[in-house]
Amino acid sequence: MHPLSRTRRWAALASLCLAVSLIVIDGTVLHLAIPSLSEALRPSSTQVLWIADVYGFVLGGLLITAGNAGDRFGRKRVLLAGVTAFGLASLATAYAPSPELLIAARAVLGVAGATIMPSTLSIIRNIFTDPRERTTAIGLWSSVTTAGAAAGPLLGGALLDNFWWGSVFLINVPVMVLVLIVAAVTLPESRNPAPGPMDVPSVLLSIVGVIGVIYAVKEAAHTGLAHTGVLLAAVVGVAALVAFWRRQTRLAHPLIDVRLFRRRAFSGAVGGDMIAVFALIGTLFFLSLHMQFVLGWTPLQAGLAQLPAMAASTVAALAAGRLARAWSRAVVISLGLGLSAAGLAVLVTLPVESGYPVVLGSLLLIGVGAGLSFTVTADTVIATVPKERAGAASAIAETAYELGAALGIALLGSLLGGLYRQTLRLPAGLGSESAEAARDSIATALQAAADLPARLAAQVVAAASEAFVHAVQLTSLIGGGLVAAVAVLALFTLRGLPTLVDDERPLDPSTPLHTRQGADR
């Protein structure tokens, strides 16, 4: 591929950022739509989690395959096909008449989204050959990603205040049309000139492994480790991933170069990427529920309340490259994770009454932390491979992102639900049917209270709100401890990483870090 002019490069970047905003907007608007969606379709608490989770699970399971498809068939072609399919699937999601069909439609969205995410980063890797310019481009890509996360709640909140819940998915359609037009004009086509054969067993093993493990984690948090389905999914998922790993070491043309994971720096970057998103998306998920169910805010008010996190993340993403060059990649990633952990810790003091100042402090810390760590880890991952394999490397980065988001919702959401049920103390005189509904979730508790006498209803609402806030406090404490541990670990796993990676000499997994020029000290 011939080098693009500066104007063409940045115009192409704009179309890529617009494309990835589809994925982010779809994920964030769903959080605000859950209350009205729950009222309309009456899903169970498990179905609510699946509505939120299945999109990320399917997307994560297919990213490796989709990244290789872009390397093989052309990244622009795969991107445009994915954007078209995503828009059409959004129509089906918006008009889903039942929880089961909504879950199915969200799964199809995940399939389409898997073709978009790795294509954007891999194209950036190919058109921005200067390492400083590439880091800036990824910072812009990250900032637009977080801006899309901010636009989702705002657009979704405005729509939900005036229209039915399905309208939040229709906003994908005009964005899809705009992406198709801009990308078709500005994007160059690129592919691996010698991709080798596509290994179908590897494709199947990667899908089964990723989805199996994530399903097991989600269900373990909700039903416990002893559940038969959890154990079966865990065994199948882990076995598939082990078989996938071993197969990649024997293939001449593997889906991913697993040798990269032998390097502590590469593994640390992927892990840091996943944990940063875990903290951000998981926190936004349960704070959206808190603001609507406990504080009684409208979806639009909740969306506006989350805007500071996205603004802080955008500013941090734009500054991340410069800070990494000044302080080292290890310090910036560790600092970002540490700030995210502090943001979660702040929520331990969340009161039942109001509490937005506490929420605001938490969102600002987590937003800055995610912006710093995500930008630097994404650049680190895609800089480790030649341009011809950029799709596969991007798939690894995006898999970490999507798994982090899915785990944030699944683990923190399931932990939150379990703690809510354990701490809920219902008033005497409540019927068994109402009590069962109240214990299922705070959403069903408020629905049950609406049919009760005023005094008893007020007691149920107060009990549910108190239990939910207490669950938020404990969940934040546990999640913050996990992120803090990874922040400390990042200082060791990422030390010695070059501040700038030469585009013509990507990091070789067999080369010790100290032999590279420009390594962090």
Our separate counts of H helices and E strands in the chain read 19, 0
Q: Are residues 301 and 376 in the same domain?
A: yes
Rounded Cα distance between 480 and 476, Å, is 6
- Range 115-125 average pLDDT: 81
Q: What angle do CA 59, 48, 225 make, to 5 degrees?
A: 80
- Range 216-221 average pLDDT: 68
Q: Are residues 214 and 310 in the same domain?
A: no
Specify if 154 maps to a domain.
yes
Rounded Cα distance between 23 and 26, Å, is 5
Q: Are residues 216 and 281 in the same domain?
A: no
Task: Identify the weakest region by mean pLDDT among 132-136, 220-224, 249-253, 260-264.
Answer: 220-224
94, 26 contact by CB (below 8 A): no
Total of domains in the chain: 2
pLDDT at residue 190 tops 80: no
Q: Are residues 206 and 303 in the same domain?
A: no
Specify if 280 maps to a domain.
yes
Helix extents (H) in 44-196:
45-73, 75-94, 99-114, 117-127, 131-160, 167-170, 172-186
- In tens, the pLDDT along 434-460 reads 998 898 889 889 989 988 999 999 999
Specify if 521 maps to a domain.
no
Q: Are residues 214 and 309 in the same domain?
A: no
Specify if 515 maps to a domain.
no
pLDDT above 70: percentage of residues in the chain: 87
Rounded Cα distance between 52 and 409, Å, is 7
pLDDT of residue 428: 86
Q: Are residues 387 and 427 in the same domain?
A: yes
Q: Are residues 246 and 126 in the same domain?
A: no
CB burial readout 485-518, b (16+ within 10 A) else e: ebbebbbebbbbbbbbbebeebbebeeebeebee
- Range 221-226 average pLDDT: 61
pLDDT of residue 389: 63
Specify if 519 maps to a domain.
no
Q: Are residues 396 and 493 in the same domain?
A: yes
pLDDT at residue 51 tops 90: no
pLDDT at residue 509 tops 60: no
Confidence of residue 256 (pLDDT cuts 50, 70, 90): confident
Task: Identify the weakest region by mean pLDDT among 97-106, 174-183, 367-376.
Answer: 174-183
Residue 276's domain is classified under what CATH number? 1.20.1250.20
pLDDT at residue 484 tops 90: yes
Specify if 476 maps to a domain.
yes
Confidence of residue 384 (pLDDT cuts 50, 70, 90): low
pLDDT at residue 318 tops 70: yes
- Range 225-251 average pLDDT: 86
User: Residue 268: enclosing H or E segment and its boundaries?
Assistant: helix 264-289
Q: What angle in degrees, to the nearest 10, is found between the helix axes of 299-327 and 6-41? A: 140
CA 137, 138, 143, 145: dihedral to nearest 10 degrees? Answer: 120
pLDDT above 90: percentage of residues in the chain: 15
Q: Are residues 222 and 294 in the same domain?
A: no
Cβ neighbours of residue 108 closer than 8 Å, sequence gap 6 or more: 85, 89, 92, 93
Domain that holds residue 339: 6-189+255-510
Q: What are phi and psi of 519, to 5 degrees?
A: -70, 150
Rounded Cα distance between 305 and 504, Å, is 44
Confidence of residue 149 (pLDDT cuts 50, 70, 90): low
48, 38 contact by CB (below 8 A): yes
Q: Are residues 361 and 503 in the same domain?
A: yes
pLDDT at residue 151 tops 50: yes
pLDDT at residue 92 tops 80: yes
pLDDT at residue 420 tops 60: yes
Q: Are residues 219 and 84 in the same domain?
A: no
Average pLDDT score over the chain: 81
pTM exceeds cut of 0.85: no
pLDDT at residue 285 tops 60: yes
Specify if 112 maps to a domain.
yes
Q: Are residues 225 and 303 in the same domain?
A: no
Q: What angle do CA 44, 426, 447 make, to 5 degrees?
A: 40
- Count CA within 13 A, CB hemisphere, residue 391: 31
Specify if 211 maps to a domain.
yes
C-beta neighbour count of 2 within 10 angstroms: 5
- In tens, the pLDDT along 160-176 reads 778 888 888 887 888 78
Q: What angle do CA 479, 347, 277 make, to 5 degrees?
A: 45
